[in-house]
Amino acid sequence: MERQRRNTKKYSFRQQDLKELRNLTSYVLDPLGFKARFGKLLLLLNTQVDEGLMSVLVQFYDPLYRCFTFPDFQLLPTLEEYAYLVGIPILDQLPFSGLESVPTSQEIAYMLHIDESLAMSEDAFEAIFVLLIYGLVLFPNIDKFVDVNAIRIFSTLNPVPTLLGDTYFSLHMRNAKGGGAIVCCLPLLYKWFISHLPQTVAFKENKGCLRWSARLMSLTNDDISWYNRVYDGVQIIDSCGEFSNVPLLGTCGGINYNPVLARRHLGFPLKDRPNNILLEGVFFQEGKDPQNLKGRRVRAWRKIHRKGRK
């Protein structure tokens, strides 16, 4: 069967200059302890993203199913995969909604251990360093600036739903606009995607010097690295509240994603073909929400439905 020619869109990525921030990693005295306290932030900070690969990947975004649709398979990032890759668990609490109050300067000083007795402490350095990573890597917005949303998310200690929400929201928005700057945690999306690519020597070496577009188009269902044993025993967040899928809230709006399509990633069988109800799509921009979709999402996250393999 002849494959249809894709209409490519022109995308760019919001990436900060992280050289100075990366230099600060040498001041982390206990990297293992830092990882235990804050997750795999140092790994994300030092991830070198192949923008050529990511530029090709986003061409495969499918706005109907909210996933990446390739000729022979579909892939989509999940909450559970993001939680593992960033090393931060998803808490059973309401994630960032944008309805939180703006922290006062005194509250920020308390979060960052900035007072006379602690200002020069290791705790103060680590807190400030982590906040910089949140603002410049996890939730990039303005160049060389940590915005208030990053501070509010930092204070909740539950960033994963927002990270995934920003990923889907920006992909969906830019796709609808026909291109533009994708604003999300690009190192995290990159690490997620390469975790599913073939691990063979032939694919990695690419002796034929093929472009990423040709390499990805040639992949089949059997080439993909579908499952990692780290997800053994995991319970997936399958839906929330009234929704038949998962309503995500990002920093710029809301979007639903469909974990039913990703069960194979996590070792779950896909017993039936997903129906249109399960794949319902809801999308809104911050400040353009006449139906109060944000309020419905906030209520939905108070009732999380998890599923195991049984």
Reported as a single tens digit per residue, the pLDDT across 164-204 is: 999 999 999 999 999 999 999 999 999 999 999 998 999 99
Number of domains in the chain: 1
Contact 167, 183 (CB under 8 A): no
- Report yes or no on 42 lying in a domain: yes
- Report yes or no on 268 lying in a domain: yes
Per-residue pLDDT at 3: 47
For residue 128, the enclosing domain spans: 12-307
- Report yes or no on 299 lying in a domain: yes
- Report yes or no on 106 lying in a domain: yes
One pLDDT digit (tens) per residue for the chain, 310 residues: 344 455 788 999 988 899 999 999 999 999 999 999 999 999 999 999 999 999 999 999 999 999 999 998 999 999 999 999 999 999 988 999 988 888 888 888 878 777 655 556 888 899 999 999 999 999 999 888 999 999 999 998 899 999 999 999 999 999 999 999 999 999 999 999 999 999 899 999 998 999 999 999 999 999 999 888 899 888 999 999 999 999 999 999 999 999 988 877 776 666 666 556 567 678 888 888 778 888 999 999 999 999 887 6
- Report yes or no on 4 lying in a domain: no
- Report yes or no on 245 lying in a domain: yes
Per-residue pLDDT at 219: 94
pTM to 2 decimals? 0.92
- Report yes or no on 287 lying in a domain: yes
**H helices present in the chain, as ranges:** 19-23, 31-38, 41-45, 51-57, 79-86, 105-111, 122-133, 148-156, 160-177, 186-194, 201-205, 212-217, 293-300
- Report yes or no on 70 lying in a domain: yes
- DSSP conformation class of 115: S
